[in-house]
Amino acid sequence: MIVVDTNILVYLLLSVEHTPRARALLDLDADWHSDAFALVELTNVLATAVRVRGLSLPQAAAAQATAEGIVESGLHMAGNSDVLVVASRLRVSAYDARFLVVAEGLGIRLVTEDVKLRRAAPKLTQSLAQALGGA
């Protein structure tokens, strides 16, 4: 079981620097979990990519469907009061805190490439490299 934030989904679905590692993570363990907000954020990233970066609407729709297929059964709804407490304690956004609450609730570390978030919550997070058994 793996908990991911939106950036890991983006890396999996769009060809970018971290795509090979995100795909390796999915190959390692396909039981991905996240906060339901991840799909909202992903939709925004894809809409922006269509508008600004030339991603076609069919490509964006396919990426959205792929993401839903990967994480839909592992989506959680972090409680807003828990999110507020974690966001305040760690001085992170409520958006980031949602993923931390899910990870903490499942007792596993969130996989994220958000360096600021990893610095704020080192005991609750890990990089792609760490999740893959590297650095």
Instruction: Give pTM, 2 decimals.
Output: 0.93
Q: What is the mean pLDDT of the chain?
A: 96
Stretch 52-73: mean pLDDT, rounded?
A: 96
Using 50, 70 and 90 to split pLDDT, how confident is the model at 131? very high
Residue 88, token pair as written in the block = 């305040």
**Does 74 have pLDDT greater than 60?**
yes
Measured CA to CA, the distance from residue 1 to residue 56 in angstroms comes to: 32
Cα dihedral value 72, 28, 42, 63, nearest 10: -80
Q: Residue 65 belongs to a domain with what CATH number?
A: 3.40.50.1010
Domain residue limits at 13 = 2-131
Number of domains observed in the structure of the chain: 1
Coil, strand or helix: which one is 54?
Answer: coil
Measured CA to CA, the distance from residue 8 to residue 45 in angstroms comes to: 12
Mind listing the pLDDT tens digit for each residue in 3-43?
999 999 999 999 889 999 999 999 999 999 999 999 999 99
Q: Identify whether the C-beta of residue 36 lies closer than 8 Å to the C-beta of residue 104.
A: no
